[in-house]
Amino acid sequence: MKHSLTRKGGVRPLLSELVINWHITEACNYRCRYCYAHWTGNNRELVHNVPGTMQMLENLWQYFHPQNVANPLRQAMDWKGIRLNLAGGEPLLYAEHVHRILTDARRIGFNTSLITNGSLFSLELAQQLAPNLSMLGFSLDSGISTTNRQIGRQSRHGQLLAIEHLQEGISAARRRNPELQIKINTVVNASNCHEDLSDVILKLAPQRWKVLRMLPIVTNQLMVSDAAFQEFVVRHQALGDLMCIEDNTEMVESYVMIDPLGRFFQNALGQSRYRYSRPIPEVGAAQAFATVGMDPAKFCARYLGALEKVAA
């Protein structure tokens, strides 16, 4: 773990980048039963508001910029850069907005990444988006059609994601940007916990495979037991160099997260709802962040572990 020196001679963990996750929309073409992408509030999602989006990006940059010593997180850790990660819902329902936000964020100085369910990813989008991304992530829980249907990973018309389609998209994105890191996110849940995903993961050859335990915040559907989750991890031990494992305790209060209305939010075990700040474009990032907080120790542990895996 890298460290930096404080003015008083102490040490702080030094991250290569601080990651801010913006869930740009709640809308999705899939209906996963465990989905936690549900937020309160009926206002229009910020992604459709071009000046509001720009203002939020600038607010975030000013507040989380690595040189801003006024950021209270700096008492616990340092970071060299900021990565804006776009997630959903399914962000590629608004592919043009995604392209615009990624372009603006890069111009401001952010590193950028995107997480998608892959169903709308095309060769054209690979061409358009890959140059503006340092990481491209796909959520994938199974290579088996019946499991995907049980989970709800299908469109309204019953269309499923084909692994070959994903492979083609990933290859095109890698050709366009050879520096691009590919990540697969798998939520281990009651439907897929007995499966072996090794072949699928090896086919897609990501730099990182994030294995998350289904988190019972918004719903308990498809919850998985401790034993079944551990068995899944052990079954895939041969892929240990790629795997980043997140059990539920590592997943709470360890992310910087923004909802579709531009509010910071935070999850907490034992609470059935998220906590929210006021919208960032209204009150600024400092005031909004102060009301939700985050656990810097958990954040550092998760990101340092993950980044070491990518670097390996």
- Quote the CA–CA distance of 8 and 13 in Å, as a whole number: 15
The residue among 265, 256, 261, 263 whose CA lies nearest residue 292 is 265
Q: How many residues sit in the footprint of ligand SF4 (CB under 6 A)?
A: 11
Taking the complex as a whole, the smallest distance from the CB of residue 174 to ligand SF4 amounts, in Å, to 23
Taking the complex as a whole, the smallest distance from the CB of residue 252 to ligand SF4 amounts, in Å, to 18
Q: Is residue 28 a contact point for ligand SF4 (CB under 6 A)?
A: yes
At position 186, the amino acid (one-letter code) is: T
Residue 150 neighbours by CB under 8 Å, 6+ apart: 191
Q: Is residue 135 a contact point for ligand SF4 (CB under 6 A)?
A: no
Q: Is residue 89 a contact point for ligand SF4 (CB under 6 A)?
A: yes
> Would you say 38 or 48 has its CB closer to ligand SF4?
38
Q: Is residue 88 a contact point for ligand SF4 (CB under 6 A)?
A: yes
**What is the torsion angle, in degrees rounded to the nearest 10, for the CA atoms of residue 132, residue 257, residue 276 and residue 31?**
80
Q: Is residue 30 a contact point for ligand SF4 (CB under 6 A)?
A: yes
Q: Is residue 251 a contact point for ligand SF4 (CB under 6 A)?
A: no
Q: Is residue 289 a contact point for ligand SF4 (CB under 6 A)?
A: no
Long-range contacts of 261-266 (CB under 8 A, 24+ apart): 261/39, 261/41, 261/43, 261/45, 261/46, 262/46, 262/52, 262/56, 263/41, 263/288, 264/288, 264/289, 264/291, 264/292, 265/39, 265/292, 266/292, 266/293, 266/294
Q: Is residue 90 a contact point for ligand SF4 (CB under 6 A)?
A: yes
Q: Say if CB 110 and CB 84 are below 8 A apart.
A: yes
Q: Is residue 138 a contact point for ligand SF4 (CB under 6 A)?
A: no
Q: Is residue 45 a contact point for ligand SF4 (CB under 6 A)?
A: no
Q: Which stretch binds ligand SF4 (CB under 6 A): 27-35, 121-129, 211-219, 237-245?
A: 27-35
Q: Is residue 117 a contact point for ligand SF4 (CB under 6 A)?
A: yes
Q: Which stretch binds ligand SF4 (CB under 6 A): 86-94, 123-131, 193-201, 230-238?
A: 86-94
* Residue ranges in contact with ligand SF4 by CB under 6 A: 28, 30-32, 35, 37, 88-90, 117, 139
